């Protein structure tokens, strides 16, 4: 009977230990997901403070032909991070954030979209740009991806 009791106690201890390990793993993944979401939100806020387009940095425009063509989205010649001046300078931007408890890889994409179908890239310039931030980490199980749409409004 003592041997049976010892076996039951051993099984119980192993189960409790396994539960603690699973709980620690879930807590770590939750913490990393929250940090990745915070990084993505901060990146969107950083981008949102800029002008809509290179042509709107200092002047208002009222013609789509004045906007940067879709194939030319990205930093202009001589523009280097962190001195970007408009939203589409972040197209193709990547950085590694090591200031947290893990290494996070951040990438940005900027495309034109149509208001009627914001999930699809427009092949022509529109008054709407979609910014997508993707955050990954070797320590995370999932990828955090956040998108937002910025529109240009011209009032006379």
The pLDDT of residue 22: 67
Report d(CA 73, CA 87) in Å as an integer: 9
The pLDDT of residue 14: 80
What domain count does the chain have? 1
The pLDDT of residue 54: 93
- Give the number of residues written for the chain: 156
The pLDDT of residue 72: 94
Q: Evaluate whether residue 156 is within a structural domain.
A: no
Q: Evaluate whether residue 54 is within a structural domain.
A: yes
| 52, burial (CB in 10 Å: exposed 0-12, middle 13-18, buried 19+) | buried
- Retrieve residue 111's tokens: 């495309």
Asked if 54 contacts 85 with a C-beta cutoff of 8 angstroms, the reply is yes
pTM of the model: 0.82
In terms of residue numbers, what domain contains 98? Answer: 2-151
Report d(CA 91, CA 70) in Å as an integer: 11
List the chain residues with pLDDT less than 50.
Answer: 156
Long-range contacts of 53-59 (CB under 8 A, 24+ apart): 53/86, 53/87, 53/88, 53/152, 54/85, 54/86, 54/88, 54/89, 56/86, 56/152, 57/85, 57/86
Report d(CA 76, CA 101) in Å as an integer: 34
């Amino acid at each position: 009977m003592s041997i049976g009791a010892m076996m039951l106690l051993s099984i119980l201890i192993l189960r409790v230990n396994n539960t603690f390990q699973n709980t620690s793993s879930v807590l770590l993944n939750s913490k990393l997901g929250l940090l990745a979401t915070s990084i993505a939100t901060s990146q969107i806020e950083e981008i949102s403070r800029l002008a809509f387009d290179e042509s709107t940095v200092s002047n208002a425009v009222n013609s789509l032909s004045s906007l940067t063509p879709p194939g030319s989205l990205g930093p202009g010649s001589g523009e280097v991070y962190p001195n970007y001046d408009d939203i589409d300078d972040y197209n193709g931007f990547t950085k590694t954030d090591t200031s947290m408890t893990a290494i996070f890889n951040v990438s940005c994409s900027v495309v034109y979209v149509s208001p009627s179908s914001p999930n699809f890239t427009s092949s022509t310039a529109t008054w709407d740009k979609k910014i997508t931030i993707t955050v990954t980490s070797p320590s995370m199980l999932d990828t955090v991806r956040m998108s937002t749409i910025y529109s240009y409004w011209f009032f006379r």
